[in-house]
Amino acid sequence: MVTGASGFLGSEIARLAHTAGWQVRTFDQNEGARVHCAEKFVGDVGDSALLRKACDGASAVVHAAGLAHVYGLAAKDFTRFHAVNVTGTANLIDVAMEVGVPHVVLVSSVSVYGDYTGMKCDESMPCHPQGPYAISKWQGELRATERMAKGRGSLTILRFATIYGEGDRGNVAKLIGALDCGRFIWPGSGQNQKSLIYREDAARACLTALGRSVSGSEVFNVSARPTSMREIVSTICHALGRPIPRLEIPLSLLNAVAATSLAIGDPGQLGRRLQKFIHDDVYDGSKFETTYDFSPAVSLAEGMRREVNSLRNR
């Protein structure tokens, strides 16, 4: 059973599971979701009775439902994030344990570590989430782990690096739009490193995790190899058929602007956004790769080509 099956990642999980021969149930608040499934449940993750029907008899649940990519004032509304990413997750785990689902895979995010790491971050790093989304994902993990500790099932928490690909509405899609419209100026030299993972590889990781059940809970980072911002931008420009931007803002100036913004309360989150963009933001996915003999299959160039084509078609 896949929750959030009409979403960016959930729909790909359902598609790959169907292709692999699984009987797929979907649970989503979107009635018009076009996904491959044997059974479809339409409702909210707060509806325990409906969740119970969807989970009953399932051999596994991938919980991909969640609130993300919310901007403006709504992005600061912790109540909305808490209702879906914390209370909804706890509800799902309770129901899954009640009906005896042996394995739950919980889709989480590397945002639980903090805005940016400044180093290669593995699962032993402490979590210091900032902002309603990251805090809610971290609290959702804690609720799920606490509840699973009372039962006998397996819980696998996958903390994904930034996921990109067809249907993306996040920062990578925004970057592509800025480059396509000529609105991009280099923040620094672009040598800082970032971790990404293509949507199909992220979905495949969720299904791969179902192949190994252990008692209790495990946490894994999932990411492709780190790459520089210059390589990311250059790859997108190649896919767009546009020249690589040359104009660059000195790093010293960016740091000064970020520091000033943070000192006066960071209106519009400018300081945090600048710091995140110009610093290394790298996550070590080797534990998952070694444990599950997993490696991302789609290159950065191919993944960006697919996302660019998808955005242009839309």
- Does residue 172 belong to any structural domain of this protein? no
311 part of a folded domain: no
Asked whether residue 68 is domain-assigned, the answer is yes
In CATH, what number is assigned to the domain containing residue 63? 3.40.50.720
- Whether 221 and 284 have beta carbons less than 8 Å apart is answered as yes
Q: How far apart, in Å, are the Cα atoms of 290 and each of 139, 187, 220, 238, 314? A: 27, 35, 11, 33, 38
Query: How confident is the model at residue 98, as a pLDDT?
Result: 95
Cα separation, 191 vs 210, in Å, equals 37
Are 244 and 237 contacting, i.e. CB atoms less than 8 angstroms apart? yes
Instruction: Give me the domain span that covers residue 22.
Output: 2-167+196-223+282-296
Residue type, 194: K
Q: Is 248 left (phi over 0), alpha (psi -120 to 50) or beta?
A: beta
In a domain? residue 269: no
Quick check: is 255 in a domain? no
The DSSP letter of residue 263 is H
Say what the pLDDT of residue 215 is.
79
Give how many domains the chain has, as a whole number. 1
The CA distance from 2 to 210, in Å, is 12
Q: Contact 222/31 with Cβ under 8 angstroms? A: no
Does the predicted TM-score (pTM) go above 0.75? yes
Give a yes or no: residue 266 inside a domain.
Answer: no
* The pairing of beta strand 162-164 with beta strand 196-198: parallel
pLDDT at 118: 65
- Which of 237, 73, 61, 77 is closest to 156 using CA atoms? 61
149 lies in some domain: yes
- Residues 6 or more apart in contact with residue 231 via CB below 8 angstroms: 300
* pLDDT means over runs of 10, the chain (314 residues): 94 94 92 73 94 96 90 71 95 96 97 80 93 95 93 92 94 94 86 95 97 88 96 97 87 70 60 70 96 97 97 86
Kindly state whether residue 241 falls inside one of the protein's structural domains.
Answer: no
**Pairwise CA distance, residues 225 & 249, whole Å:** 27
